[in-house]
């Protein structure tokens, strides 16, 4: 070991503190999670595993139904597209929440929040990681569907980008609520990250039209961005009709829920600072 250098020999400088958001700090947090993925191929495999397995099972079921159902035969790909897009929502939310949980599992919150990292930068880094994890998860499944079923979800064209973006943003909104609860109640609320999205599946009209639901439940369903996305997806696939109204609804609802989620997160962060929860987190 050597003593600290004196004078100018080892004098270094830190960059001038930025007043607002720092892309460098957001990048540092993304880098932190990419290091985790790079160092663990089972984690990368796990990301792609379930979407691919789901797609394979539902794909063969669709092939079977297509030969026995004129409805499915007329719109081959509805189920496959629904499976893949549903995974965008699930992986988007999980990717966001897991990035947060990683810090709690490793008891790193105390170090992070005494660094210059701002809560909003932390949130933006989790969104970036959610996008990366989702792309790693669903891209192999989407590509595998092409040789297996001669169906490409990419034939949806530009609407696919809109559907993907809206489901991802909805995942972030849910992720913000989940992390707010984990901040407030600790790792006891961890399981929410794994199952909360599935509470919304029945009313998101993923695999069936929203009209299948009882009238009163349809009001609940239309209040979800996901329902608007999946109805929009079916309109494109069955009638070749892109419905901007549904997209506008999804965007507005996402804006509302993302805003509420951000408020919930910031409120929980403040409560955590009032109660000293940031130093108590961990297993």
Q: Which residues bind other proteins (CB under 8 A)?
A: 1-7, 10-17, 22, 24-25, 27-29, 31-32, 35-36, 39-40, 102-103, 106-118, 270, 273-276, 278-279, 282
Report the C-alpha gap between 142 and 151 in whole angstroms: 9
Minimum CB distance to other proteins smaller for 113 or for 265? 113
Using alpha carbons, select from 149, 168, 158, 136 the residue that is nearest to residue 258. Answer: 168
Find how far residue 43's CA is from the centre of its chain.
16
Taking the complex as a whole, how short is the minimal distance between the CB of residue 32 and other proteins, in angstroms? 5
63 vs 73: CA distance, rounded Å: 9
Min dist. Cβ of residue 112 to other proteins (A) = 8
- Shortest distance, CB of residue 5 to other proteins, whole angstroms? 7
Nearest CA to 122 out of 102, 140, 141 is that of 102
Assigned token pair, 92: 């988007």
**Choice between 19 and 240, CB closer to other proteins:** 19
Q: What minimum distance in Å lies between the beta carbon of 66 and other proteins?
A: 44
Nearer CB in complex with other proteins: 183/250: 183
DSSP 278: G
- Return the number of the residue (75 or 277) whose C-beta is nearest other proteins: 277
DSSP 89-102: HHHHHHHHHHHHHH
Nearer to other proteins by Cβ, of 150 and 275: the residue is 275
Distance of CA 63 to the CA centre of its chain: 29
* Whole-number Å distance between alpha carbons of 158 and 249: 17
Q: How far is the CB of 99 from other proteins (least distance, A)?
A: 12
Report residue 42 as tokens: 């089972």
């Amino acid at each position: 070991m050597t003593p600290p250098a004196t004078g100018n020999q080892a004098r270094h400088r830190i960059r001038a503190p930025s007043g607002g958001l720092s892309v460098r700090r957001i990048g540092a947090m993304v880098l932190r999670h990419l290091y985790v993925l790079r160092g663990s191929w089972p984690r990368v495999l796990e990301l792609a595993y379930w979407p691919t397995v789901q797609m394979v099972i539902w794909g063969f079921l669709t092939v079977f139904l297509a030969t026995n159902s004129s409805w499915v035969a007329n719109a081959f790909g509805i189920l496959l597209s629904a499976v893949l897009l549903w995974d965008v929502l699930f992986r988007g939310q999980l990717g966001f929440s897991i990035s947060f949980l990683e810090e709690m599992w490793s008891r790193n919150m105390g170090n992070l929040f005494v660094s210059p990292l701002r809560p909003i930068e932390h949130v933006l880094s989790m969104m970036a990681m959610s996008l990366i994890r989702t792309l790693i998860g669903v891209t192999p499944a989407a590509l595998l569907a092409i040789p297996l079923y001669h169906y490409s979800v990419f034939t949806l064209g530009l609407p696919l980008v809109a559907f993907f973006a809206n489901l991802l943003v909805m995942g972030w909104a849910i992720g913000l609520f989940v992390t707010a609860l984990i901040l407030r109640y600790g790792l006891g609320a961890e399981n929410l990250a794994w199952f909360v999205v599935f509470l919304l599946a029945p009313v998101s009209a993923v695999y069936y039209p929203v009209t299948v639901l009882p009238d009163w439940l349809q009001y609940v369903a239309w209040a979800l961005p996901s329902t608007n996305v999946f109805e929009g997806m079916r309109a494109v696939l069955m009638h070749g009709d892109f419905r901007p109204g549904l997209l506008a609804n999804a965007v507005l609802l996402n804006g509302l829920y993302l805003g509420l989620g951000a408020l919930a997160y910031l409120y929980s962060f403040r409560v955590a600072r009032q109660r000293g929860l940031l130093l108590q987190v961990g297993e």
